[in-house]
Amino acid sequence: MIENTANADPLVPVKKPSNRRWFQFSLRTLLTFTMVVAVACGWVSWQAQIVRDRNAELNRAVNMRLIGIDCDDQAQAIPWLRRLLGDVSVNSISMPPETTSDELDRLSALFPESRVTSDNRFNSPEPQRARVR
């Protein structure tokens, strides 16, 4: 049988627990931190979805030659996070005259910073292409 001799010998120093306290937090703090991180991730995901929708619409419209687009590199009305995610500022969108008002409203909602028009200036042979990443 093995005996514990650590306390038996008075000459052997016994390790004292450290006076340093470990960082402690409550369950409420953990849940609050988790909620804040989840809200931040949700907001970034929402902004990324807006960027994907806008880029998909620009690619669809440019590939089908449906619209004339005037883009601006200064990104006047685009928030910094959406610029970081690859969004571009569109100043104006010119649609053909036969475009329905529902389509114009959808484009106005998708590109609130731009002027969406439906007029005869669309009849140019080659519409301007947007720089979409």
Can you give the residue ranges of every domain in the chain?
Answer: 27-123
pLDDT in tens, 108-123: 898 888 888 887 554 4
pLDDT digits (tens, 9 = 90+) for 51-104: 999 989 888 877 766 666 666 655 567 888 888 898 888 887 887 777 788 888
For the ranges 8-12, 34-38, 105-109, the one whose mean pLDDT is highest = 34-38
Distance CA 85, CA 78 (A): 11
Residues contacting 40, CB < 8 A, separation 6+ = none
Helix spans in 15-120 (H): 27-63, 80-84, 101-110
Token look-up 């849940």 returns 31
Do 116 and 96 contact (CB within 8 A), yes or no?
no
